[in-house]
Amino acid sequence: MISYWQGRCPISDISDTELLRASHIKPWKDCETDAERLDVHNGILLSALWDAAFDKGLVTFKDDGTPRFSSRLSAPAMSSLSGHSKRISGLTAGHKENLIWHRDQVFNP
């Protein structure tokens, strides 16, 4: 995933490897096969804060890569996330298919 996303979070541009997480769009427990679990199109390289928010359904992404935030976020969290974000470019059809799943199954508006 580091190679695919060129070693940086596509939202925040953070490139410190200690702060990056291979964030699965569809969690391992919900994948039907190992191939699905390891598919590069089932992941986004996110900074730790973005990864935590994404995993907990506090943020998701539209098909064009624009972040969509949950109303459950506190004002400071919303400020931190929205103030340091941009649209993800380079999403493939596979990413978009998995993001539809994420929006339907994980995201809590």
Distance CA(20)–CA(24), nearest Å, equals 13
Residue with tokens 């990056």: 20
Considering the domain boundaries, does residue 30 fall inside one? yes
Q: Is 43 exposed, middle or buried (0-12, 13-18, 19+ CB in 10 A)?
A: buried
Residue 73 domain flag? yes
Residue 4: the pLDDT is 95
**Confidence (pLDDT) at 35:** 95
Identify whether 52 is part of a domain.
Answer: yes
21: helix, coil or strand? strand
As for how many domains the chain has, the answer is 1
| pLDDT at residue 39, rounded to an integer | 95
pLDDT at 84: 76
Domain hosting residue 73, numbered range: 17-105
Contact 107, 68 (CB under 8 A): yes
- Per-position pLDDT tens, the chain of length 109: 999 999 999 999 999 999 999 999 999 999 999 999 999 999 999 999 999 999 999 999 999 999 999 999 999 999 999 887 889 998 999 999 999 999 999 999 9
Q: What is the DSSP letter of 7?
A: T
Closest by Cα among 48, 70, 52 to 61: 70
Q: Is position 6 within any domain? A: no
Q: How many CB atoms lie within 10 A of CB 39?
A: 17
Residue 7 lies in a domain: no
